[in-house]
Structure 1
Amino acid sequence: MQITDILAQTGGLQSLARELGLSETQAAKGAEALVPAILGGFKKQAQSQPAGAQGLDGLLGQLGGGALLDQVLAPQPTDVSRGDNVLGEIFGSKDVSRAVAQNASSQSGLDPSLLKKMLPMLAMLVAGYLAKQRGAGDEGNSSPMGGGLGGLGGLFGDRPAGAAGDAPGRAAPGLASMLDLDGDGNMLDDILRMAGKVMR
């Protein structure tokens, strides 16, 4: 199952569409283009944490845990500053976020300024979902959504990139392959290089 299908099941795409004045189709297109970079950022964080997955769990909890998902789903306007905090942790620079939005625009046909507004909300949805799934014991697929991120194994290095069942790698193959320029399975280093080119 693709991550955008999961976000639709949780009501996340509907919330994005409502808050940003988009159709659900437009919200889904934006999510398909942006989510691979967000997942790549979390993968980078997972690999850099000294305690591996436990370190990532700590980071997710520090960022707000499952409450991040709940806040986007709530009828009140989303406090996107929490999403900006997530982006700061996984990308480290607003320049990277701008580069991600610009590249997603070329893939989705949506305006980059709109995608920049969508990015922190999507980061909250993904972080909140990861926190809820991991808290429920993702390795045993005890999540009610059946481990829709491929059990997260492929995302956090338990399986080779592209292994069977790695939903994140299939979320938007065009953008994912474009961002992973050196083919190492981790697109974040390539995103950072692209951001440097944008700045120059």
Structure 2
Amino acid sequence: MASILDLLKTEAGQNLINGASKEAGVSKEKTGSVLSMALPAILGAMKSNANTKEGEENLNKALESEEHDGSILNNLSGMLGGDNSGLLSKGAGILGNVLSGGKESALTANISKMTGVDASSVGKIIKMAMPLVMGFLGKQKQNSGGGLTSLLGSAMGTSGDKDASMLETLLDADGDGSMLDDVAGKFLGGNKKGGGGLGGLF
């Protein structure tokens, strides 16, 4: 099963990077860096939410709806243009449901620190990506027929407790930032062996 970072290498992912780059006024390389860190962390939050019965039911219902059937993966280039307010609004709604209790602001602030992209632009980039993420998950769910935990774990493309800790650090509003260098190394393709960086994205 493809991971969310594999999605960024597809035509739809490249369309997203190009469109979000223009909307946020940030280079394509920086936009890709933001997404490569944000998306696994958001999937980690979804996985955590799905640990409760209510959270699992809500996410299942969303992924089984026609809105998130994966068709956006083929239509994204037509949705990106001069006015992206609809996509941003839809993404903001999804993000608000996934990240609560200050996690959204923590995520944007921590990624801003690591990439040098201002938090407002980080927020725009992530919101534009959310409908695509839901379409990706909806399509994967149709194809796999497996449970949410295994679906989200595969989509995150992470392995082991260390990766999980890095994702938690991105979402930690009270963190002191001591792990941010490790997180950046992991997701920006640093020297860490096996890093899930941006190689081949551009």
Q: How many residues get paired?
A: 164
User: 5 Å matches for 1:14-53?
Assistant: 14-49=18-53, 52=56
Q: For 1:91 and 1:63, how far apart are their aligned partners in 2?
A: 23
C-alpha change, 1:51 and 1:8, in structure 2 (3 Å) is same
Q: Are 1:91 and 2:95 counterparts?
A: no
**Matching residue of 2:59:** 56
Q: For 2:59 and 2:29, how far apart are their aligned partners in 1?
A: 32
Q: Are 1:127 and 2:134 counterparts?
A: yes
C-alpha change, 1:123 and 1:155, in structure 2 (3 Å) is same
For structure 2, the 5+ residue unaligned runs are 177-202
Q: For 1:152 and 1:13, how far apart are their aligned partners in 2?
A: 27
Question: Which is worse superposed, 18-27 or 34-43?
Answer: 18-27
**Among residues 79, 102, 113, which one is paired with 1:106 in the alignment?**
113
| Contact persistence 1:69–1:124 (CA under 8 A) | no
For structure 1, the 5+ residue unaligned runs are 141-150, 157-164, 182-186
Cα deviation, 1:60-81, whole Å, max 9, x if unaligned, reads 3459313555665423333111
- Deviation, structure 1 residue 195: 5.9
Given the two structures, how large is their TM-score scaled by the length of structure 1? 0.64
Identical aligned pairs, as a percentage? 26
Q: For 1:117 and 1:166, how far apart are their aligned partners in 2?
A: 22
Q: Which amino acid aligns with 2:47?
A: K
| Contact persistence 2:63–2:134 (CA under 8 A) | yes
Q: Are 1:138 and 2:127 counterparts?
A: no
Cα deviation, 1:180-200, whole Å, max 9, x if unaligned, reads 35xxxxx8xxx3x52699xxx
C-alpha change, 1:62 and 1:109, in structure 2 (3 Å) is same
- Deviation, structure 1 residue 130: 0.7
- Deviation, structure 1 residue 117: 1.2
- Deviation, structure 1 residue 14: 2.6
Cα deviation, 1:86-135, whole Å, max 9, x if unaligned, reads 11111135x32111001111222222221011121122221121112222
**Matching residue of 2:9:** 8
Q: Are 1:194 and 2:173 counterparts?
A: yes
Stretches (4+) displaced over 4 A: 67-72
| Contact persistence 2:38–2:107 (CA under 8 A) | yes
| Contact persistence 2:44–2:167 (CA under 8 A) | no
Q: For 1:111 and 1:127, how far apart are their aligned partners in 2?
A: 25
| Contact persistence 1:7–1:125 (CA under 8 A) | no
Q: For 1:111 and 1:21, how far apart are their aligned partners in 2?
A: 10
User: 5 Å matches for 1:60-75?
Assistant: 60-61=63-64, 64-65=67-68, 66=70, 69=73, 72-73=76-77, 74-75=79-80
Aligned-partner SS, 1:194: coil
